[in-house]
Amino acid sequence: MSLLDQPSSPSLSGGGMTRRQAWGLVGLFAAAVIVWLVFAVWPDWLNAILISKKAFVSAILNGITLAGLYFLVASGFTLIFGLMRNVNLAHGSLYLLGAYIGYEVTSRTGYWLLGVAAGFAVLAIVGVVMQVFVFRRLEGDDLRQTLVSIGISIVAADLMLAVWAGGTYQIATPEWLDGALTLPIITAVRSNGASVFLTYPLYRLVVLAAAIVIGVGLWLMLHRTRVGMMIRAGVDDRAMLQASGVNVHAVFAIVFAVGAGLAGFAGVVGGSALSVAPGEDVRYLLASLVVVIVGGMGSITGAAIGALLIGLAEQIGLVYFPTYGIVLTFVIMVVTLAVRPQGIMGKAR
Amino acid sequence: MSLAIATDGTTPRQNWLERLGAGHIILAVVLVLYPLVASDFFLTQIGGYSLIFGMMGLSLMLLAGYGGMVSLAQITVAGIAAYAIAILGNNNSNILGFGWPWWLAVPFAVLAAALASALIGWISVRTEGIYTIMITLAIATATYYFAQQNYAIFNGHSGYAGIRAPAFWGISWRDPKPFYYLCLGLAVLSYAAVLYGSRSTFGMTLQAIRDNPRRMRALGYHVTAHKVFAWLLAGVIAGLAGVLLVWFNGRVSPGTIGVDAAIDVLIIAVIGGLRHPIGPFLGAVVVILMQTFAIDIVGAERFNTLIGLVFLVIVFVSPDGILGLWGRIKPHLAQESLRPGS
Amino acid sequence: MRMHRRTLLALAAFTGLTAPSMALAADDTIKIGLLATFEGPFTVLGEDGERGAMTAVAEMNGTVAGKKIEIVKGSSDASPDSAVRAARKLVEQDGVKVLVGPLSGDEGLAVKDYAKTQPNVTFINGTSAAQDTTLRDPAENFFRFSTDGAQWMAGLGTYAFKDKGYKKVATVAEDYSFPYTQVFGFMAEFCKAGGHVPSKSWVPIGNKDFSSVIAAIPEDVDAIYVALGGADAVNFLTQYQQGGGSAPLIGGSITVDQTVLTSKGKLRDVLKGTPSAGPTADTNDAPAWKAFVEAYKKQPGAFPSPSLFAHGYYVDMKATLLGLDQVGGDVSDGGKKLRDALSKLSFDTPTGKVSLDKNRNAIADIFLTEVTEGADGNLMNKLVKVVPQVNQTLGIPEDEFMKLGAVNRDNPSCP
């Protein structure tokens, strides 16, 4: 998932060739700098500026893996938003509910993968129920749908607080996902000449891998299957899709199931990496909002780019200027809105 | 309800106008005489507080009802005025506090709020419709987190304390009765301004833009400028509410402008009704009463479920909030609340 | 008819807004306000605080000086604004003359400010532990029988330096007043003993991903001092374990509280052996403590061992009741007699003798502890030693202590 993927997705490319080439060059240069920063042994002055190579590389890696998590949450949000114009502000609640369900299933059965599956399945059902019984009744009324989703999120947050109390839960990951991996990245050289390699939690790399697999899977679903074609058609022109005899309600239900299911899936995965506690719903809702605003609505590639930007901004901010970390995220959002109101990969309408 | 929630055409609004006289006079008399019967607690904690939140709701109603822009950042705008009062005036947190007199600090605070509001408006009107709600929510949350982490300007998590309402004309304005009348005065002023403004050329243009921005643009109107100006006006009202809020609490901290508070303002406006400027005030009274006495009735633990359900029922049953409910209960008023789509 | 609708509306508003205040208490009951976080993310802590307070009420069989105790609950969501609103409702609407609470640091500062406007009401702290609630610009009618966050750290800095042999320690703490106070308390002793703190990480509240913070901690430190609470503590500890962290930890008081120790997950392994200090110790053998734990466990939903919120609310409620008992439950003089009695009050709590200094802040015993696994598999704080009668200035002469300045991110410093 990098900027270099863009040209390969024909339907999403925008702007002229020269502009794209210019951006490509900038991208290549940035990539080269990052590769050097990651693999070279740092001179002292660089260590002095950036605290330490370990801190810097960890921040980058953490940013990318966190982006994976954000992508999982935001991809469902952006699909639902893109297709139905439904800003589902209860999306964060879906994340949190998925995490709690994953916790319950994992701790009762002892199988983490079962917990992940349950998180996806239960939330997919919840998503369909929400779509059929709530949002379908308010179809075509964007504002009321949004207000209802706010109401649902308030009630859901309070009921989850009632059931699971304010405690902090951790979903136990299986043994084979535990521990740290030694990466072929030298962070420092000891005085005796031995190299110190970077160790990194295996689980976080697995989260990233899962996000990439799901991202590619979603992209393939959207671009290579019939349902995907309908969804994309719906994103572009809902009325026309309806007019051409497609059962839009079925498509809507599928998208809601996938979107909510992904939020639940992300909840279990994220709840294992971090933890499950009240307030997480707002946090991931905000992340999804910013990712979608930056990336552009209805675009999976946009969600990936947005997630990467926000994840990196958050982690680098946390290490180098904790006070203004949030401002960095905010600036990215405002600059995007000022330059490209529809988001990086969004289409002007 | 879609975005066409306020007065749809001129006809129903004129009906409202005919009605205004008697209803307004009774309401005014009741509100002015209210201190005679109410305890100090009911005067400030319910009366004053409801008026303050009603004003914030009113600023949202102005944007949403007439401009079709639903903002979740009104508490943020109010918070900017509140922080400005703390910074420009006196506080006892030993940070900043320029000690300006109130007659200098208040205009600057309101101006700061109005400009911030215009800026938020400028950012969010670049996109249309439902995007606004997302962007303003993101802005509100980001401001909250920033205020919590920044010590140079916002004094971090603790915020500012020891902010006193001014005393002039021999009156200490934070005493229950003067404070109530102060809130009432500013609320009535804002209310009248919104009511008047909605009938002015600007108000009519704004409503026309809400209904059909493309046509208005084609007719040569500067759509963005009109919208941003609406944000500026909403910012003035929210700013005044913010000044009252900081005098009321005597303090301001990130918690004052948190996401919960932002959503509270939306709930107040929606429960009351976004169709007429009186709606947000009604909503404020209902919500504040519930908030204050929930602990004695259902226990504080599940208060949010209660308010959330009330909110959901209102959105489902009566898109025009309590105002709309009245319309339904009173059949002879039904025709004015019947609108396509609702 | 047109008017009719408006009239109804006005009447509804009118009657709704003037409901008579129910402040009249019968002569044979005495109302006490109990302010804690019964909503929002700190609900669990607030409820445990309530259990502590109710334990004290139960000890007196629900009566004081022949009058029945009536507890009126006020709820905040841990924000200062909501704490003041709840306090106002208790005082101005419910008419309580004695109020116990609030729970958290910034709430305490806000309620202290409010206390100044209500000189006839007596405020007794809950568990709020910010230093300046009583140290700087105190309110005459605000009493704290529980100790502050810096006091809780008494003995820990010296213990880490001398007994554990740590010379260089990095700190990780949340970015607000209470953790500042805790870091201050730890460093005041640790720096004085000769230790160094080369790196202090202040983490925004609610940050969940600590791995970058962990990576930025210098590798040559002997230990890491962690002052994080609740979910933040759990996250930090788990990620520290996942990242293969090896430096030993030193815990702030709420980092090793029951609310964290009872969390499920792998952080247990990291926590074992972590030294800390606070107003309680789970394995305290004193009969008074054991009796308190038994009494506490009778409350519905109690933890295996009382949290320091239960303990704090218990001590403050107990002091309130003892004070009321001394004045025969009479607060008709605006609470003047009660406040005199409270100022002079000295009594034995489950955790030793407590008395007040001139700022009405507690002087009490502090417990140095270490996390161990109990026989039943639960983690608990094993008592290492008792630091007797710690005052608010940590034994430093007051003028010298005040010169250290108010706690903040950069104060104190010994890199």
From CA C51, how far away is CA C57, in angstroms rounded? 10
Is B266's CB within 8 Å of A333's CB? no
Q: Contacts of residue A58 in chain C, CB cutoff 8 Å?
A: 211-212, 214-216
Residue A235 in this model has a pLDDT that exceeds 50: yes
Is A143's CB within 8 Å of B3's CB? yes
Pick from A293-297, B328-332, C310-314 the range whose average pLDDT is largest.
C310-314
The tokens for C389 are: 């009668």
Mutate to test the interface with B, among C1, C8, C18 (most CBs of B within 10 A): C18
In a domain, A145, yes or no: yes
Q: What is the chain B residue with the closest CA to A324? A: B146
Residue whose entry in the numeric block shows the structure tokens 């940035």: A30
Kindly list the residues of chain B whose beta carbon comes within 8 Å of any beta carbon in chain A: 1-3, 5, 70, 123-124, 126-127, 129-131, 133-135, 137-139, 141-142, 145-146, 149-151, 259, 263, 266, 270, 301-305, 307-309, 311-312, 315-316, 319, 341
Is C209's CB within 8 Å of A169's CB? no
Is B23's CB within 8 Å of C409's CB? no
Residue B275's pLDDT band, with cuts at 50, 70 and 90, is confident
Residue whose entry in the numeric block shows the structure tokens 């006809």: B11
At residue C11, the pLDDT reads 45
Chain C residues 57-96 with CB within 8 Å of chain B: 73-75, 77-82, 84-85, 88-89, 92-93
C289 CA to chain B: closest CA distance, Å?
A: 30
Q: Indicate the range of A286-300, B21-35, B236-250, C122-136 predicted with least confidence.
A: B21-35
Residue B238 in this model has a pLDDT that exceeds 90: yes
| Residue-averaged pLDDT of chain A | 82
Mutate to test the interface with C, among B145, B151, B158 (most CBs of C within 10 A): B158
Residue C410 in contact with partner chain B when CB distance is under 8 A: no
Please check whether residues A109 and A29 belong to one and the same domain. no
From CA B29, how far away is CA B90, in angstroms rounded? 36
Could you tell me how far CA B262 lies from the centroid of its own chain? 10
pLDDT (average), residues B210-233: 87
Contact call for residues A106 and A171 (beta carbons, < 8 A): yes
Domain count, chain A: 2
Which residue, A94, A61, A105, A84, is CA-closest to A280?
Answer: A94
Nearest-by-Cβ selection for A154 from B142, B146, B308: B308
Residue A191's pLDDT band, with cuts at 50, 70 and 90, is low
Does the bond joining B101 to the residue before it have cis omega, within 30 degrees of 0? no
Q: What is the chain C residue with the closest CA to B28? A: C10
- Taking residue C66's Cβ as centre, other Cβ atoms within 10 Å add up to 10
Residue C45 in this model has a pLDDT that exceeds 60: yes
Chain C residues 75-114 with CB within 8 Å of chain A: none
Beta strands (DSSP E) in chain B are: 167-168, 171-172
Strand C122-124 to C169-174 pairing: unpaired
A323 CA to chain B: closest CA distance, Å?
A: 5
At residue C176, the pLDDT reads 79
In 3-state terms chain B splits into helix, strand, coil percentages (rounded to 5) of 75, 0, 25
Residue C232's pLDDT band, with cuts at 50, 70 and 90, is confident
Please check whether residues A108 and A21 belong to one and the same domain. no
Nearest-by-Cβ selection for A87 from B130, B139, B305: B130
Residue A307 in this model has a pLDDT that exceeds 80: yes
Specify the higher pLDDT residue, A155 or B300. A155
pLDDT (average), residues B113-141: 86
Q: A5: exposed, middle or buried (C-beta count within 10 Å: 0-12, 13-18, 19+)?
A: middle
Is C92's CB within 8 Å of B41's CB? yes
Please check whether residues A280 and A189 belong to one and the same domain. yes
The tokens for B12 are: 């129903």
From CA C358, how far away is CA C344, in angstroms rounded? 10
Specify the higher pLDDT residue, A71 or C21. A71
Please check whether residues A22 and A140 belong to one and the same domain. no
C211 CA to chain A: closest CA distance, Å?
A: 7
Residue C296 in this model has a pLDDT that exceeds 60: yes
Chains linked to B by 3 or more Cβ pairs within 8 Å: A, C
Contact call for residues C384 and C368 (beta carbons, < 8 A): yes
Q: B26: exposed, middle or buried (C-beta count within 10 Å: 0-12, 13-18, 19+)?
A: middle
At residue A216, the pLDDT reads 92
Residue A10's pLDDT band, with cuts at 50, 70 and 90, is very low
pTM recorded for the entire structure? 0.84
Whether C29-147+286-363 and C151-284+366-403 share one fold: the answer is yes
Residue A260's pLDDT band, with cuts at 50, 70 and 90, is very high
pLDDT (average), residues C215-224: 85
Residue whose entry in the numeric block shows the structure tokens 């307004």: B24
Please check whether residues A2 and A55 belong to one and the same domain. no
Q: Which CATH superfamily is domain C151-284+366-403 in?
A: Response regulator (3.40.50.2300)
Is C216's CB within 8 Å of A66's CB? no
In a domain, A344, yes or no: no
Is C204's CB within 8 Å of A326's CB? yes
Please check whether residues A51 and A4 belong to one and the same domain. no
From CA A49, how far away is CA B10, in angstroms rounded? 65
Mutate to test the interface with A, among C242, C258, C307 (most CBs of A within 10 A): C242
- The domains of chain C are located at 29-147+286-363, 151-284+366-403
What is the distance between the terminal CA atoms of chain C, rounded to a whole angstrom? 78
C3 CA to chain A: closest CA distance, Å?
A: 31
Overall fold of domain B10-337: ABC transporter involved in vitamin B12 uptake, BtuC (1.10.3470)
At residue A39, the pLDDT reads 73
Residue B26 in contact with partner chain C when CB distance is under 8 A: yes
In a domain, A345, yes or no: no
Chain A residues 254-313 with CB within 8 Å of chain B: 282, 286, 289-290, 292-293
Chain C residues 50-69 with CB within 8 Å of chain A: none
At residue B290, the pLDDT reads 84
A6 is in which domain, residue-wise? 1-40
Q: A234: exposed, middle or buried (C-beta count within 10 Å: 0-12, 13-18, 19+)?
A: buried
pLDDT (average), residues B36-59: 87
Q: Indicate the range of A41-50, B13-22, B273-282, C16-25 predicted with least confidence.
A: C16-25
Contact call for residues A300 and A159 (beta carbons, < 8 A): no
C321 CA to chain A: closest CA distance, Å?
A: 30
Residue B314's pLDDT band, with cuts at 50, 70 and 90, is confident
Please check whether residues A56 and A30 belong to one and the same domain. no
Backbone phi, psi, residue B217, to 5°: -65, -40
At residue B105, the pLDDT reads 87
**B-to-C residue pairs, Cβ atoms closer than 8 angstroms:** 135
Contact call for residues B62 and B200 (beta carbons, < 8 A): no
Contact call for residues C319 and C100 (beta carbons, < 8 A): no
Q: A11: exposed, middle or buried (C-beta count within 10 Å: 0-12, 13-18, 19+)?
A: exposed
Chains linked to A by 3 or more Cβ pairs within 8 Å: B, C
Residue B239's pLDDT band, with cuts at 50, 70 and 90, is very high
| Residue-averaged pLDDT of chain B | 81
Strand C223-227 to C169-174 pairing: parallel
Mutate to test the interface with B, among A139, A143, A155 (most CBs of B within 10 A): A143
In a domain, A98, yes or no: yes
At residue A184, the pLDDT reads 75
Q: Contacts of residue B227 in chain A, CB cutoff 8 Å?
A: none
Is C244's CB within 8 Å of A170's CB? no
pLDDT in tens, C236-261: 888 887 777 778 899 888 888 877 78
At residue B277, the pLDDT reads 87
- The domains of chain B are located at 10-337
pLDDT in tens, B298-309: 665 677 788 888
Overall fold of domain C29-147+286-363: Rossmann fold (3.40.50)
pLDDT in tens, C340-373: 898 989 888 888 889 888 889 999 999 999 998 8
From CA C238, how far away is CA C253, in angstroms rounded? 18
Please check whether residues A22 and A155 belong to one and the same domain. no
Chains linked to C by 3 or more Cβ pairs within 8 Å: A, B
Could you tell me how far CA C383 lies from the centroid of its own chain? 20
Kindly list the residues of chain A whose beta carbon comes within 8 Å of any beta carbon in chain C: 51-52, 54-55, 58-59, 62-63, 66, 107, 161, 165-170, 172, 178-180, 199-201, 203-204, 274-275, 277-280, 283, 314-315, 318-319, 322-323, 325-326
- String of b and e for C186-210 (b: at least 16 CB within 10 Å)? bbbbbbeeebbbebbbbbbbbbbbb
Is B134's CB within 8 Å of A292's CB? yes
Nearest-by-Cβ selection for C211 from A58, A169, A277: A58
Could you tell me how far CA B230 lies from the centroid of its own chain? 14
Chain B residues 279-298 with CB within 8 Å of chain C: 282, 285, 289, 292, 295
Q: Is A76 left (phi over 0), alpha (psi -120 to 50) or beta?
A: alpha
Specify the higher pLDDT residue, C325 or A238. C325
> Which amino acid is present at C296?
Y
What is the distance between the terminal CA atoms of chain B, rounded to a whole angstrom? 5
pLDDT in tens, B141-159: 888 888 888 887 888 877 8
Give, in order, the Cα–Cα distances in Å from C186 to each of A86, C149, C162: 51, 10, 14
Residue A215 in this model has a pLDDT that exceeds 60: yes
Nearest-by-Cβ selection for A282 from B133, B259, B305: B259
pLDDT (average), residues C121-128: 91
Give, in order, the Cα–Cα distances in Å from C323 to each of A5, C328, C343: 73, 9, 9
